Amino acid sequence: MDKVKVGIIFGGTTEEHPVSVKSAQEVARNLDTEKYEPFWIGITKSGEWKLCDGPDAGWENGGGRPVVLSPDRGVHGLVVLEQGRYETIRLDVVLPLLHGRLGEDGAMQGLLELAGVPYAGCDVSGSALCMDKSLTYLVIRNAGIATPKFWTVAADDTIDPGLLPYPVFVKPARSGSSFGVSKVSRPEELPGAVETARQYDAKVLIEEAVEGSEIGCAILGNDPDLLVGELDRVALSHGFFKIHQESNPEAGSENSTFIVPADIPVESRTLVLETAKAVYRALGCRGLSRVDMFLKADGTVVLNEVNTLPGLTSYSRYPRMMAAAGLPLAEVIDRMILLALTGKLQ
């Protein structure tokens, strides 16, 4: 039986580049090469596409052949360029392991749609909707699910610091991880926090702080057939939760640990799971996503954000929650590919 030809795209030009490479490295350790023939497509920080042997150290500065994903459906995959000649590689499916802008926002998904190549994860509209947190909140509110109170600040706009109920969080509206996020406790801190966020996105989101435990829910599948991992809870020692900001995240966070399964009451667990699935459906998610929520002291649930291509690194929350539910990363990858090819988990 022929192996499934899988294009695995990683790297990218944004601040999420190192995280994406680590996700690809973990996928490489868990991909069943008896079933799949991987084609590793690394995007350098400067935006060059390279067909390489894998995501190990040196791929970006050493070998690799120039490659493009062709939007021509007759090619249905890659065009490899070398010494004035080219060859084509037909792909059966693509795993886009790109986080944040230009990977998780619908841009890569749009290229794959043009190419006619099946791919894992959310489609163009779901990716774009979840990437812009202000649009996410508008849709979710319309679905009757609670979100933080929020304000948006467009490019070159200003907001009166005296109008806000402190503390607030200031963040890029369309960015990943915790890059550019600040907690603001006093009006005089607001302008600096807005400028920090604008280093990553011209559109800035300001959210009223929500008092509660941060709970994550890993979801795999297409509606109505959804598989969920064990919930996790972010336990903070101080400050606020930041991810991928440490110099050595593999050694753990400086201010947070993850409790899996989340140590919350059974009725709260049920509410969080049902809310997460309702969010997933309302936003048109497919394939996989991690839905992050706040569980307040009164037992109510408030959406935090949705990650449509969550990290798959050795220390990432999504694979940890799935593993706790009995689904190791190798099986998660299998099901991601199956969903991309057939639309069904089994």
Active site residues: 19, 22, 99, 244, 250, 290, 311, 315
Question: Can you say whether the dihedral through the CA atoms of 190, 191, 194, 199 is positive or negative?
Answer: negative
Residue 149 tokens read as: 């109170």
- Amino acid residing at 6: V
Neighbours of 206 (CB within 10 A): 24
Contact 99, 130 (CB under 8 A): no
What's the CA angle centered on 265, arms 261 and 268, to 5 degrees? 95
Relative to beta strand 36-43, strand 4-11 is parallel
Residue 88 tokens read as: 């084509």
* Phi (first) and psi of residue 130, to 5 degrees: -75, -25
How buried is residue 306: exposed, middle or buried, by Cβ count under 10 Å (0-12/13-18/19+)?
buried
How far is CA 114 from its chain centroid? 22
